[in-house]
Structures are given as C-alpha cells and as structure tokens.
Amino acid sequence: MGRLVNIAIDGPAGAGKSTVAKLAAEKLGYVYIDTGAMYRAVTLQALMDKIDMSDETNLTRIAESVDLALRADESGNTRVFLNGVDVSRQIRTPEVSRNVSLVSQVPGVRRRMMQLQKEMGARSGVVMEGRDIGTQVLPDAEMKFFLTASVEERARRRYAELIHRGFTVTYDEVYKDIAQRDNIDSHRAVAPLKPARDAEIIDCTGMTVEQVVDAIAARVSGRSL
C-alpha cells in the first residue's frame, strides 16, 4: 500500500456510505469514522430533552455540551456513546432519521461536529464518511468519493435495513423520508450536500456492497476503477 492517506466518502441518505466505508477501512487496514452517527447522537439527545427542532440555540447548546465517543467493539463495529451510554441502536430509529437533517443544518451544531471530526482526521489512515467530508471536514483528503444511487434504490436498502433491525415502517414512509432528507441536505445554507470538485462519483445503483468496496480499495491502491 505504501503511504497511508485520508479517504473521504460522501453521499446522500441510504447510499450505503457507512457500510462501504467500514468495509473499505477493514480491507485497507484504516480507521473508520462514522460522522453521521455523531449528528444522530445529538439528535437523539434533543429528542430526549424534547427540544424543538427549530430551536437553534438549544440544539447548539446540546452539541457543545454532550460527551460523544466512537469506539470499535470486539467485532470491529463502531459503537456510539452519548454521555457514557451506548446508544448505537437508539440513534438508528426512524424518529431520529426523520429529524437528523434538521439538526445537522444548524450552524452551531455543524461547527462543533466539524471541530471534533477534524480532530479525528488529523492523522493519516482514516476513512471518514458523511455529507460534507470532502468539501468541508477533510478538504485536503488525498482520496475523495461521492456515492450515489436512485431514490428508489436507496429507499429499498434503508427499508430492508430497518425491517432487519426490528423497526415497524413501510416502504412509502422510508421513501418519503429519504426524499425529504435529500432536499434538506442539498439546500441547507451551511455545507450543503454536493460532491467535492475532485471527488470520484460512484453510482452504486445495481452494484453490490462488495463491488463498491473493491472499486474504492483498487483506486486507493493505485489501480484504476
């Protein structure tokens, strides 16, 4: 492999960023950082505190005051700790999914999360995924990828994931949620979702997770996609 680099993986909701980033990190021997989980943890705390999702002052206060930690368990899975409590399952509920884009567009929340993420990415050999990693968090990352897929494809994947986790949802609800999140993420005033100018775009519609991971690993290893 030679010199370790930083890898930024961005893309819309349901594009498979977390799974791809985690597996790519394992394949390359890199450290995986799930930035979306951090925003989800802040959203969970806001919901528990019954904060209005338009209350930017209190949402910023939460982001600046909570203790967030990402730790790998014995299986290599990332566990998310909020004020010392493992909330890895709670942050994946449909309610958190419906509200996380509203929370993540708050300037104060993004400022605090980006600060933490930049600290995590200060060393090389990191795979970081999110929506503004290549454009804002790690603009100097040597390798940048933007994963995308049709809304239908992403909704099918997210629906299957939620059902597998034991949540009760319908495909139509998931489709509507993803379409709404796309709109919010792409049009927010601060760090909107878009590919970095030097990112390689991978349309993973119809691709397996393994195919996407192999494509990224091959590119990072210096081979063509």
pLDDT in tens, 16-67: 998 999 999 999 988 898 899 999 999 999 999 999 999 999 999 999 999 9
Tokens encoding 135:
């454009």
Please give the CATH topology (third level) of the domain spanning 7-213.
Rossmann fold (3.40.50)
Residue 199 annotated as part of some ligand binding site: no
Q: Does the annotation list 125 as a binding residue?
A: no
| Mean pLDDT value of segment 127-156 | 94
- pTM for the model stands at 0.80
Q: Are strands 143-148 and 78-82 parallel, antiparallel or unpaired?
A: unpaired
Query: pLDDT tens for residues 11-25?
Result: 998 999 989 999 999
41 known member of a binding site: no
Residue-range domain boundaries for the chain: 7-213
DSSP state of 147: E
| Rounded Cα–Cα distance for residues 90 and 214 (Å) | 31
Residue 108 is assigned to a ligand binding site: no
Known binding residue 217? Answer is no
pLDDT score for 225: 39
Q: Is 19 labelled as part of a ligand binding site? A: yes
Q: What is the mean pLDDT of residues 135-162?
A: 94
- pLDDT of 201 reads 96
The encoded tokens of residue 129 equal 């995924």
Q: Coil, strand, or helix at residue 71?
A: strand
Place of tokens 């594009």: 15
13 is in an annotated binding site: yes
Q: Taking residues 102-113, what's their average pLDDT?
A: 95
Separation in Å, CA 138 to CA 1, 104, 126, 220: 21, 17, 10, 16
* 201: its two tokens: 């775009």
Residue 60, marked binder: no
pLDDT bucket at 2, cuts 50 / 70 / 90 = low
Q: Given this model, what pLDDT does residue 72 score?
A: 78
Q: Is 122 annotated as a binding residue?
A: no
- Backbone torsions φ then ψ of 78, nearest 5 degrees: -80, 125
